Structure 1
């Protein structure tokens, strides 16, 4: 579970790219976390290729989205966001 003291960080250029290409942005993740959209927090399944990455799963407009991130103490650096049809069928 994530605590309320965490600081979310991201690359602003990546955020612009996500808005254009996927219609999602990291601010959507912040809103989801602050309004009860947290679903799960789990290790990345491919730790060999993505060491130290975790997957944050949040509901954005009712749709499950995966947000890979790296944690540094009380800071989370968000890498990207993608909607997950696989998780949609499981929820």
Structure 2
């Protein structure tokens, strides 16, 4: 499996501003418990992990190469919440 990386400063910011911990997201991805991987609708070089995080749907944009996955950010998303919880 590819290694999963993120910016530690971004992790701190997400915890403070959104209550989202990228370490928890890494654990979900590594355990295979994400809901889906989608193409990013506006950024051709990115994809999206769709994750159920404590009952809310979280969208996690990422880029990848042959060796690693780099998580860009994470946000709760109402559009995907409707799609994946109905």
1:55 match: 48
**Structure 1 portions without partners, runs of 5+:** none
- 1:44: how far off? 0.7
**Structure 2 portions without partners, runs of 5+:** none
Q: Aligned-pair RMSD on alpha carbons?
A: 1.4
- 1:36: how far off? 4.9
- 1:14: how far off? 0.6
TM-score (norm 2): 0.87
Asked if 1:69 corresponds to 2:62, the answer is yes
- For residues 52-73 of structure 1, the C-alpha deviation after alignment (integer angstroms, 9 at most, x for no partner) is 1111111111211000000011
Runs of 4+ in 1 over 6 A off after TM superposition: none
Asked if 1:41 corresponds to 2:34, the answer is no
Number of positions where the alignment pairs a residue of Structure 1 with one of Structure 2: 84
